[in-house]
Structure 1
Amino acid sequence: MAKARVIIVGGGFSGTALAIHLARTSAEALLITVVEPRELLGGGVAYSTQEPAHRINVPASRMQLSGEEQGAFDHWYRQQPECSLDSAAHCADGSVYPQRGMFGRYLAEQFALAAIRYPHVTLRHLQTTAVAWEGQQLLLSNGETLQGDILALAISHPPPSLPRALQPFAQHPALIANPWQRGVLDAITPDASIAIMGTGLSMADVVASLATRHHRGPLTAFSRRGQLSRANLTGEWPEWTLAPQNVPEARLWLHHIRVEVARAAEQQLPWQRVLDEVRVQGQAIWQSLPLREQQKFVRHLRSWWDVHRYRIAPQVAAVISERQLQGSLHVLAARLQSITARGNQLEVTLHTRQGKTQTQRLDQLIVTTGPGHDALTQSQPLLQSLSEQGLIRADQLGFGLDVDEHSHALTQQGLPNSRLLVVGPAARARFGELMGLPQVADHAAAVAQQILNELDIAHAERCPPSIS
């Protein structure tokens, strides 16, 4: 009997985790092909970076694949030479925050180990790009075709979209639309006057990266609300139990969480413990809200949630705090009012929330406003192909792709396609909390189970792999 064939497009965390879970849980022969143009699987946008200032945002003990023994990645990392060589990774409480690329390397190793441990399953990586889907056939950029019974989209975040006001200056030498292009930050002089548009996680990464390049010039970061990502906790803290709440309104949930934070403070517990428990229940909370309440959350509360939920490593927080104390980093709640080219510099005028304006001459304007999710279906050839055929549609919140409760992609008519599934952050309009671990890991495991159900393949009963 021929092996069932699963094609996974995208070999970042979501796609690699899905492949590993399929190998671990399938009791029958299976051919799993991951289509990913990068040389190594597991890295994706987040974990392929080789920038030393980029660190995972939580302790290594909280980073792992779903179903693994607790602390699997932490145990693996402490056995690597980089653990002792990277002294900055170690915190006083004994936790470690490795450079982000180390987790990508760990995932690649787990994929290779799965191929050995489960020989009845064939795992392979094709280093190419998917171009189009026709019937049960995937067309690749290298001219080859793949036959598949199931297609899983583990697509990465789309590239950042340049704000409309900046588009006329796209080719100006002072504008850096993508700070992670190779060598871009290396070309910045230590005394350069810089502004960063956006104040979230990417801005924090940029500030940390500039610090490793000994930048000391004036630095301004601005966004509409001027909110910085908060620092992660250090030390051991008790878990928090969230009091029940069953009212499907975003405003009432906000009030409830504020009450919980105040209640925790009375017990000398930090707000982070409350938010961690909200995150654990995040999918259930999100799915209890009707669409109009989800839209209210996106308009009014999302930016506040993001900076409290998606926190930064203590090492990065320390760099930002130091520069603010030195007076060389200013964070503003402001919008761009005007921009003018002045030779190789850009002159920008910012209008603050206090109604004031200030004008600056910049050597560099760096854009960190995040991925252009609203253009996801047009961001790569395969998604364009699927969209033109009516096989996928964008969700109503502008987060990614529309899926049903089983992660099947919905057609433009709103019908689920049992042979086309979405795994990872692109499905978060349905599930809510699908940007950080462990929720993405759990989602990959759930999609693996769904795929085996669709293929009518028995599930293997296996213990988690040992970390010894």
Structure 2
Amino acid sequence: MTKRQIVIVGGGFSGTMLAIQLLRKGDANLAITLIEPRAQLAEGVAYSTQDPAHRINVPAAKMQLSESEKGDFDRWYRQQPAFLQDSAALWQDGSVYPQRRQFAAYLREKLAHALNGATATFRHVQDYAQAYQLGQLFTQQGLRIPVDQLVLAISHPAPLKPAVFQALSTDSNVIHNPWQDESLYTLENNAEVAIIGTGLTMADVIASLVRQGHRGPIHAISRRGQLPRANLSGHYDDYSLIPATPLPTTVRGWLKLIRENVSVAARHQRPWQLVLDDVRRQAQTIWQQLSLVEQRRFYRHLRPWWDVHRYRIAPQVAAVLGECLASGQLQINAGRLMSAQHISGKLALTLRQRQGGSKTLLVDKVIVTTGPAHQQLIASQPLLIDLAAQARITADPLGVGIAVNAHSQALSPTGTAHDDLFVVGPAARGRFGELMGLPQVAEHAEFIANQLLAIPIDTLRERCPRESN
């Protein structure tokens, strides 16, 4: 046991990207184990979909793993047979928006390339992590894996069932998780459908339904009735925010500055998306300069508006939504869902409308697309439950992930950092802010790799001695 043993739990984008960075940076004294129950790495929730209607949300040229690899995925994809077989991937401005599974294939190829040039060792254990004690990780299949440093790359728990559907949790007419429920693909084409949520997952579901030839009415329901915006079509130079002195220290101040920049950009015939892109590039710095009070204010009041402008959809998907809206097949309902009950073989949904009054929809099927229940992350996995019971992790103050320090080391409920326990990816966004977009998660993975390798192995083993094998 002379090698540094780094164990990564979770083999989606965050975990696979961290493994790639460790293979690139580590030496022969490093052994990497990645625990992921899926047979294929790099998929996770987003990139495991096999539906050809599900495309990456930004041009392939912007899906970069590092600044030095800018445009690499775009070049790779254009050389694949899949590019020739998918004519819809090429948009009118020359950008390509591949099916999401193509990015997972690209990342696995990058992992294989990193392995070929590495002196460190790597293995994928297809299993579930259950518990962590005395420098060892215990798996569902009974393995005991030695650990010097453990990294949690667990980010997206299952969606939370809306309260009005709790009594219908086993009802076949309610799809609680469209990512896992195959009945979405056997839905009758004339069925009247209600979709709960109007974000990115809703857009995916509608793209899937339209691809299948669905002709029935679709009712999308959310509190504000806001849809994700379309990505830019065309090529523009980057926009830089007009500097403010002093910089805002409040959410309201930043909102005012962003609106002023959108107005300035419009006067120069430059779209608002460019302004938001520059905010995104600075988002981690902006976020960490805000007080906890201001961060909470953002989540309470502005997050839904940020999400629909920041997390945009591919123009192919935007075109599908636009056609459905124009034809009247898709209706957007802004309001609060108050009740759901069976009436004559259908589901009756009663809404309190945002603009006042109530409305009842009678539908054949309900699809819940409210997204991962990040506030339930720690309760979603046996390993996380075990670590919380040991007081080694706790939820962050915003309730969107796991509490970490500036090094992304997990914090105990009393604020003690653990230098053998790290969090990579979106679960650390309470501290770091913008950790949902791919470039930011890739940068965070490289940051974590540097943090892991900088800690002397002797220090770790003095604090957490393992049983001898």
Whether these two folds match at TM > 0.5 is yes
Separation in 2, partners of 1:183, 1:295: 37
Separation in 1, partners of 2:78, 2:100: 15
Cα RMSD after superposing both structures: 1.2
**In the alignment, which residue of structure 2 is the partner of 1:141?**
140
1:68: how far off?
A: 4.2
**In the alignment, which residue of structure 2 is the partner of 1:169?**
168
- More off after superposition, 347-356 vs 270-279: 347-356
Residue identity in the other structure for 1:240: Y
1:278–1:67 Cα change, 3 Å: closer
Separation in 1, partners of 2:151, 2:67: 21
**In the alignment, which residue of structure 1 is the partner of 2:307?**
306
- More off after superposition, 48-57 vs 349-358: 349-358
**In the alignment, which residue of structure 2 is the partner of 1:382?**
383
**In the alignment, which residue of structure 1 is the partner of 2:461?**
none
Separation in 2, partners of 1:408, 1:154: 12
Separation in 2, partners of 1:183, 1:410: 38
**Residues 173 and 344, structure 1, Cα contact 8 Å, conserved in 2:** no
**Residues 195 and 220, structure 1, Cα contact 8 Å, conserved in 2:** yes
Report Cα offsets for 1:273-307 as digits up to 9, x if no partner.
00000000000000010000000000000000000
Report Cα offsets for 1:70-126 as digits up to 9, x if no partner.
1111111111100010001001111100000111111111112211111x1101111
Residue identity in the other structure for 1:242: L
Separation in 2, partners of 1:106, 1:83: 13
Separation in 1, partners of 2:2, 2:68: 30
Separation in 2, partners of 1:390, 1:67: 38
Separation in 2, partners of 1:32, 1:377: 24
User: SS in structure 2 opposite 1:438?
Assistant: helix
Separation in 1, partners of 2:407, 2:130: 25
**Residues 5 and 32, structure 1, Cα contact 8 Å, conserved in 2:** yes
**In the alignment, which residue of structure 1 is the partner of 2:432?**
431
**Residues 89 and 96, structure 2, Cα contact 8 Å, conserved in 1:** yes
**In the alignment, which residue of structure 1 is the partner of 2:7?**
7
Separation in 2, partners of 1:139, 1:71: 40
**In the alignment, which residue of structure 1 is the partner of 2:268?**
267
**In the alignment, which residue of structure 1 is the partner of 2:47?**
47
Structure 1 unaligned regions, length at least 5: 458-468
Residue identity in the other structure for 1:419: D
Residue identity in the other structure for 1:128: D
Q: What fraction of aligned residue pairs are identical, expressed as a percent? A: 53
Residue identity in the other structure for 2:218: L
User: SS in structure 2 opposite 1:412?
Assistant: coil
1:425–1:134 Cα change, 3 Å: same
Q: How does 1:50-449 map to 2 (within 5 A)?
A: 50-118=50-118, 120-245=119-244, 246-449=247-450
Separation in 1, partners of 2:136, 2:412: 18
1:337: how far off?
A: 2.1
4+ runs of 1 displaced by more than 6 Å? Answer: none
1:356: how far off?
A: 2.5
Residue identity in the other structure for 1:181: Q
User: SS in structure 2 opposite 1:53?
Assistant: coil
**Residues 45 and 179, structure 2, Cα contact 8 Å, conserved in 1:** no
Separation in 2, partners of 1:277, 1:420: 32
Separation in 1, partners of 2:12, 2:146: 22
1:456: how far off?
A: 5.9
Separation in 1, partners of 2:70, 2:361: 50
- TM-score by length of structure 2 reads 0.95
Aligned residue pairs total 456
Q: How does 1:7-26 map to 2 (within 5 A)?
A: 7-26=7-26
- More off after superposition, 369-378 vs 298-307: 369-378
**Residues 45 and 156, structure 1, Cα contact 8 Å, conserved in 2:** no
Separation in 1, partners of 2:82, 2:375: 39
**In the alignment, which residue of structure 1 is the partner of 2:467?**
none
Residue identity in the other structure for 1:360: L
Separation in 1, partners of 2:5, 2:203: 41
Structure 2 unaligned regions, length at least 5: 459-469
Separation in 2, partners of 1:311, 1:84: 25
1:196–1:182 Cα change, 3 Å: closer
1:344: how far off?
A: 3.5
1:63: how far off?
A: 0.8
Residue identity in the other structure for 2:375: D
Separation in 1, partners of 2:236, 2:260: 19
- More off after superposition, 321-330 vs 367-376: 367-376
Separation in 2, partners of 1:67, 1:241: 18
Separation in 2, partners of 1:443, 1:455: 21
Separation in 2, partners of 1:422, 1:177: 28
- TM-score by length of structure 1 reads 0.96
User: SS in structure 1 opposite 2:438?
Assistant: coil
**Residues 44 and 156, structure 1, Cα contact 8 Å, conserved in 2:** no
**Residues 347 and 363, structure 2, Cα contact 8 Å, conserved in 1:** yes
